[in-house]
Structure 1
């Protein structure tokens, strides 16, 4: 079977797709990629191929503009050209590769969606409560029910966030469809085309919770982590010296803050005089760095697996990559979430007992310092992280994800939970 992976070009999106591509390839299938031009050399180094955007290659699948209708059109054009070079049995996209959804519909090819470490769309049954000012008669931006009746159900903060996020995505998707001459779609969020025919959630039930509450196309597949093997000499030397000094190492990954204040300034003030070492990856940080204390090692990129092998705890925004890295390493975390999926992932980790959550509104150097001291002294978060580490280890080979993809390619129909168990019995 053949699978065409459609991925944004940044590591947070590309690396999980590479993990899944390598796993499905190891089962005897063929894979190819459509992604940003800058990813070509990395893919080639690891025996994978990127297909060009056209006879004259060009950029597409860039994270900076993924939601804009012209950018979605470029994604679709890239996939359309790739289909002339590689005939896939299924597409494997991501939540932000809307061009994959469009081309799957146009070319009548099934599509799987590789998600994040938390389910991010509304999942409640029945009438979906629309946002104020959003039409319910099928106008652009509506992928919810079109009955025109508003629910009186009171929503939690998390549900409000999911509803807002879904409406934003629905609006961008409908604008892209309109640009490409496709009709509007009206569907309940549990049946939205944004789920694809198969949705691969990078989690386990022990973290996400009751999977039966989610749409039946959602499957928990494990962490789906991958990164190039790297061991820069200066970082290795710094980590070895920290170990020799018997000082705890804290791995910090400061991602984008979006519309929230970052935590870098508070972190520096909180930990500059603490008896520990901080190794920080700040390539995606959208804040000023300022002075760097003597007990900090700061780099645009720190190989995550290398840092986690030496760390005693993690401080991060809560993006999927670092949260899953901490859990699969059995490390407790302190999450200070910004935007995107970060609040949802941070809430899942805190609810599972493997992390502490410090809301940006409560952030101060003292609050951060006290939270980290608690994290290091209290055995409970570490024990919970170890339990989740064992749960994720059961899915390390991505066998369930691969079996789902194989079923999708064969049946060319939605893959629902329970299908694979039924197949095994027949």
Structure 2
């Protein structure tokens, strides 16, 4: 671990990791040499040992509880799945998105439009592009500020109790 270095969490979620081709390797190559602490999760179908020895600032695991990790992070790098995006925004974290499929391209586009993140093409992103994008996210305060603004907005939204009350109201009417 590098003392006082930013903490980066990199995940491709629980469904898309094995379908990502060499995306793990390209992103890892882009982040590994940066002066950061990197936590990368690969899911249950991939053995972290497949990535070989790593420097002390890189830890690769099959799974971590995202809600336990995010409060300690500075940036999230992900595929742009709903859980990863909402987790990052709920913690006010800027995000680097490399969407693979499903709703991910739309999520990535919207995060970029809102100024809370950057997106790269998962099929063509190079380690140098990953490195440059993450460096920008760490260096430009507006990404963090926009992510924090969105965190405040999300926190102000009504929660599950409100949704349950609305459902009960609909059920009574019918």
**TM-score, normalised via structure 1 length:** 0.37
**The residue matched to 1:345 in structure 2 has which SS?**
helix
**Structure 1 residues 112-134: Cα deviation after superposition (integer angstroms, max 9, x where no partner):** xxxxxxxxxxxxxxxxxxxxxxx
Mark the CA change 1:287 to 1:356 in structure 2 (over 3 Å): closer, same or farther.
Answer: farther
Aligned with residue 397 of structure 1, among 143, 159, 171? 159
Are 1:321 and 2:83 matched, yes or no? yes
Separation (CA, whole Å) in 1 of partners of 2:169 and 2:151: 28
Deviation string 1:377-401 (CA, Å, 9 cap, x unpaired) is: 0111111101100010012633432
Q: What is the aligned counterpart of 2:8 among 240, 250, 253? A: 250
SS at structure 1 position matched to 2:51: coil
Distance of aligned partners of 1:285 and 1:393 in 2 relative to their CA distance in 1, 3 Å threshold: farther
Aligned-partner Cα distance in 2 for 1:285–1:347 = 28
Q: Is the 8 A contact 1:257 1:317 kept in 2?
A: no
Moved beyond 3 Å, runs of 4+ = 257-262, 284-289
Matched, 1:378 2:136: no
Q: 1:275 matched to which residue of 2?
A: 35
CA distance in 1, matches of 2:24, 2:74: 19
Partners of 1:302 and 1:259 in 2: CA distance? 20
More helix by share: 2
Higher relative contact order (CA 8 A, sep 6+): 2
Query: Relative to 1, partners in 2 of residues 1:350 and 1:246: Cα closer, same or farther, differing over 3 Å?
Result: same
Number of aligned residue pairs: give it.
Answer: 170
Cα 1:261/1:374, change in 2 over 3 Å? same
1:267-346 matched pairs, under 5 angstroms: 267-283=27-43, 289-294=50-55, 295-346=57-108
Distance (Å, rounded) in 2 between the aligned partners of 1:284 and 1:335: 21
**Structure with bigger gyration radius:** 1
Are residue 407 (structure 1) and residue 169 (structure 2) matched? Answer: yes
Structure 2 stretches lacking a partner, 5+ long: none
* CA apart distance, 1:323: 0.5
The whole-number CA distance in structure 2 between the counterparts of 1:372 and 1:335 is 10
Residues 90 and 155 in structure 2, CA contact (< 8 A), matched pair in contact too: yes
Structure 1: 5+ residue runs without aligned partners? 1-240, 413-426
Output the CA distance in 2 between the equivalents of 1:353 and 1:403. 34
Separation in 1, partners of 2:22, 2:12 = 8
Q: Is the alpha carbon distance of 1:261 and 1:396 closer, same or farther for their aligned partners in structure 2, counting shifts above 3 Å?
A: farther
Which secondary structure state, in structure 2, belongs to the residue aligned with residue 338 of structure 1? coil
Distance of 1:396 and 1:333 partners within structure 2: 24
> Per-residue deviation at 1:262?
4.9
Separation in structure 2 between the aligned mates of residue 248 and residue 300 of structure 1, nearest angstrom? 21
**For 2:106 and 2:126, how far apart are their aligned partners in 1?**
22
Residue 286 of structure 1: CA displacement?
A: 6.8
- Deviation, 1:344, is 1.5
Q: Note closer, same or farther for the CA distance 1:402–1:285 as it changes in structure 2 (3 Å cut).
A: same
How far apart are 1:284 and its partner, in Å? 5.9
Structure 2 residue 39 is matched with structure 1 residue 263? no
Matches within 5 A, 1:342-353: 342-353=104-115
- RMSD across aligned positions (CA): 2.2
Matched ranges for 1:216-227 at <5 A: none
